Structure 1
Amino acid sequence: MNYSMNENGFTGKLPFGEIEISGNEQYGFRPYQLLVSSLAVCSGGVMRKVLEKMRMPADDIQIEVKEVVRVEDEADRVSKVHIHFTLQGKIEESKMERVMELTRKNCSMVQSVKDSIEIIETYELSR
Structure 2
Amino acid sequence: MKITIQRLNNDVHMEAVNEDGVSVNMDGTPDIGGKNLGFRPMQMLLAAAGGCSTIDIIGILKKQRQELDDIRVEITGERISLGDYTEFKTIHLHYILTGKLDKKKVERAIDLSLNKYCSVTKTLEKTATVTSSFEIED
**Match for residue 19 of structure 1 among 24, 38, 45:** 24
Q: Deviations over 1:4-59 (max 9, x none)?
A: 23422232222243332222252321000100000011111110101000110311
Q: Indicate whether 1:38 and 2:42 are aligned.
A: no
Pairing 1:82–2:92 present: yes
- State the 1:63 CA deviation: 0.9
**What is the number of equivalent residue pairs in this alignment?**
126
Percent identical: 25
1:1-127 superposed matches below 5 A: 1-5=3-7, 6-9=9-12, 10-14=14-18, 15-24=20-29, 26-65=36-75, 67-74=76-83, 75-104=85-114, 105-127=116-138
SS of the aligned residue for 1:28 comes to coil
Question: What SS does the aligned partner of 2:67 have?
Answer: coil
In structure 1, what residue type is equivalent to 2:22?
G
Instruction: Tell me which stretches of 4 or more aligned residues in structure 1 moved more than 4 Å.
Output: none
Q: Is the 8 A contact 2:61 2:106 kept in 1?
A: no
Q: Give the letter for the 1:28 counterpart.
A: G
TM-score, structure 2 normalization: 0.81
What SS class does the counterpart of residue 82 from structure 1 fall into? strand
Which stretch shows the higher mean deviation, 95-104 or 81-90?
A: 95-104
- The 3 A distance-change label for structure 1 pair 37 and 112 is same
Matched to 1:38, the amino acid is A
